[in-house]
Amino acid sequence: MPIDILQLCPLMPSLEAELASRYTVHRWFEADDQPAFLKENAANIRGAVTGGHVGIANALADVLPNLEIVAINGVGFDKVDLERARKHGIRVSNTPDVLTADVADLAIGLIIAQARQMALADAHVRTGDWPKAELGLGTRVSGRRTGIFGLGRIGKAIARRLEGFDAEIAYCGRVRQDVPYGYCATLEELARNCDVLIIAAAASAKTYHAVNAGVIDALGPKGVLVNVARGSLVDEKALVTALREGRLGGAALDVFENEPHAPEELFAMKNVVFAPHIGSATHETRKAMADLVLANLAAHFEGETLPTPVV
């Protein structure tokens, strides 16, 4: 018998095609009448495929009595209630490791783009302003004091890349590690002792708004905040206020609290660089992520060990 899968968000076309060839896929995000869909199909759903930024709401999981697995196309699992999943025997998988290099690369790219005004420079040439005026000076990237909040897989990959820029590297995390970098016991202490603060920690209840007004003020009017983790880690209102008042030197952001919406107050600020949550957005990594989603689903339904289990 075919296995019914609930797809909770758009995925890469090749992944969608492969899912459709293996399972009966229901596209929840396109359902015109979701209550009617649930009435007819809820009991048949055995798996859910979702993005890390979407997860699965408890209200939906509660009405899927035969849900067995939630396969996340992404590394973050903060939008899945893991305690509930354990209680109900629901497996949860994600796609770690395969996106580490790309996210780390993007972090370095954002640092360079913000410091060297890359977006402004591109526009300066494209609009024909170069013959009329100088762009103005940027900031040197090499040799800066850089702090990393969250020295996990991605944090370490970022640190290794920063070594090539002669950076003075420090970090803050749940535990002190055996690494050749400075350690700060608190995020505020880390911010106070760096020029660039990179957010690479996992999203959780404990890290929600970890970058608050106090941390931002500790980073100071010459400091730069770089976020490649989750928007929820940063108090966006405090960030906007600090940038508007000149209490923070700049920001480079790939993630936001209310995606796909970024704070419009920042759009006109020349010291802010944006990216639309593209940390893993390369052909190579998205294929590897898709392969892991499929492998986790196949392993579960064949009674085998999940390649990358969360629960």
**Residues assigned a catalytic role:** 230, 259, 277
The single-letter code of the amino acid at 288 is A
Render 3-66 in DSSP notation, one character per residue: PEEEE-S---HHHHHHHHHHSEEEEGGG-S-HHHHHHHHGGGEEEEEEETTT---HHHHTT-TT
Return the structure tokens found at 254.
């790939």
Look up residue 203 and give its DSSP letter. Answer: P
Cα–Cα distance measured from residue 227 to residue 225, given in angstroms and rounded to the nearest whole number: 7
* 141 contacts: CB under 8 Å, gap ≥ 6: 111, 112, 115, 116, 165
Helix, strand, coil: what percent of the chain each, to 5?
Answer: 40, 20, 45
What's the chain's length in residues?
311
Return the structure tokens found at 244.
């508007």
Cα–Cα distance measured from residue 9 to residue 55, given in angstroms and rounded to the nearest whole number: 9
Answer yes or no: are the C-beta atoms of 149 and 200 closer than 8 Å. Answer: yes
Cα–Cα distance measured from residue 300 to residue 21, given in angstroms and rounded to the nearest whole number: 17
